[in-house]
Structure 1
Amino acid sequence: MSPWYLKVKTSQTKHSGPLPEQSGIALVVTLILLLVLMVMGAGISYLASMQSDLVSAVANKPISIEAGETCFDNAIEWFSTSAGKSWVNGVGASYDLAATGAPLSGKTVLADTIPQGQADSRSTKFKDRAGRASYSSCIVQKLASTSSLGVGTEVGVSNGYGASTFTYTIKITALGNYNVPLTGGAINTQFWQSNSSRSALEAVVQYTP
């Protein structure tokens, strides 16, 4: 018999017993590390999203303010119309000019900034941005009216007096929006955009026809 037979037999005998028990600690540690990394990644992603929304809100705040100021411009222009004159000379009760069906409904910053007497050659990106800036509320209310009476003429020369000048004190309250989805005048929260911005503005102006 070959002398190699005993060596092979001995080797087979050494490994024929049961395998040692496995505790699986390496697998448990690996799973824990994966869980920690997943939680860290989710947390970093959430913080990055929040910071991005904050930056967008700050960056887009000026254009929502501009939308509110557009309400002031449009309201003062409306005072010069026949309907505006009737309102100013009347009671001047609170009136939302931007409500559905009202004179200033659906106005945007783009419509208020088109150069007069010139072709609108501004970029498409600017037009898109300005077209998404509008005001959803533009409430006017007459607070007071004062008059400066004209000076009379010399007695015996004429019985007329100069024209009186009326000055009206009017409060204008506006809600300016940028990229804010609206249903009527209310925010549609189901379609809220992360870079949307809204500003509330109020001004008291003196208007002399």
Structure 2
Amino acid sequence: MFPWFLKIKRLQQEGTAQLPQQSGIALVVTLILLLVLMVMGAGISYLASIQADLVSAVANKPISIEAGETCFDNAIEWFASSAGKSWINGVGAAYDLAAPGGPLNTNSILADTIPQGQTDARSSKFKDRAGRANYSSCIVQKLASTSSLGVGTEVGTSNGYGVSTFTYTVKITSIGNYNVPLANSVINTQFWQSNSSRSSLEAVVQYTP
């Protein structure tokens, strides 16, 4: 056997003896880091989704408020109808005008916001947005009624008096919706939209026929 062969064999044995044992710790650390990064990414994605929903709700809040205010306009107009006169001259108990079968059950701010005497020349994008807004509740309740008697004439000259006027104090409570899926005036949670908005409004008005 040649001397150089023995020297090479000895070097191979020494190199093999110096190799450290492979424990796999690098793979374990890598997997832990990947898990941490995945959890952080999921958390950031969830927070971004929540913040986006909050921004959408704030951005769409004005149109849901406008839908609730439409209830006020429609209710006052309803007071001038024959059914409205009977209600306001009677007991005036709480009455939801927008309930199923009510006089204001089918409502939309799209028609209510058209300027009087003008045609609807608004853009299709605006019409689509406004068409998704309505109110699901419009409760009216008479709180009080006062009368102002007419001024009479001088005794002995006439037996007539001026016409008496009545002023009614009415509370109107409404719920305005924008892009809210409803099922008989109740929110359908199975089809809830992230950019939906709902507003509750209340106003006390004085109405004089």
TM value normalised by structure 1: 0.90
Partner of 1:139, secondary structure, is strand
Counterpart residue number, 1:179: 179
Distance 1:154 1:65 in 2: 52
Following superposition of structure 1 onto structure 2, how do residues 115-126 of structure 1 map, counting pairs within 5 Å?
115-126=115-126
Counterpart residue number, 2:93: 93
RMSD over equivalenced CA pairs, Å:
2.4
Counterpart residue number, 2:207: 207
Partner of 1:140, secondary structure, is strand
Distance 2:133 2:111 in 1: 10
Partner amino acid, structure 1, of 2:94:
S
Distance 1:203 1:118 in 2: 29
Partner of 1:176, secondary structure, is strand
Task: List runs of 5+ in structure 1 lacking aligned partners.
Answer: none
Counterpart residue number, 2:139: 139
Partner of 1:22, secondary structure, is coil
Greater mean deviation of Cα atoms: 165-174 or 82-91 = 82-91
Residue 105 in structure 1 maps to residue 105 in structure 2: yes
Task: List runs of 5+ in structure 2 lacking aligned partners.
Answer: none
Distance 2:27 2:121 in 1: 65
Distance 1:197 1:179 in 2: 7
Counterpart residue number, 2:84: 84
Distance 1:190 1:22 in 2: 54
Distance 1:150 1:24 in 2: 101
Pairs aligned (count): 207
Distance 1:165 1:117 in 2: 31
Partner of 1:119, secondary structure, is coil
**1:42-83 CA distance string (max 9 Å, x none):** 010001001101111111111111111110011001111111
Counterpart residue number, 2:163: 163
TM value normalised by structure 2: 0.90
Distance 1:205 1:182 in 2: 28
Distance 2:29 2:109 in 1: 59
Give identity over the alignment, percent.
Answer: 81
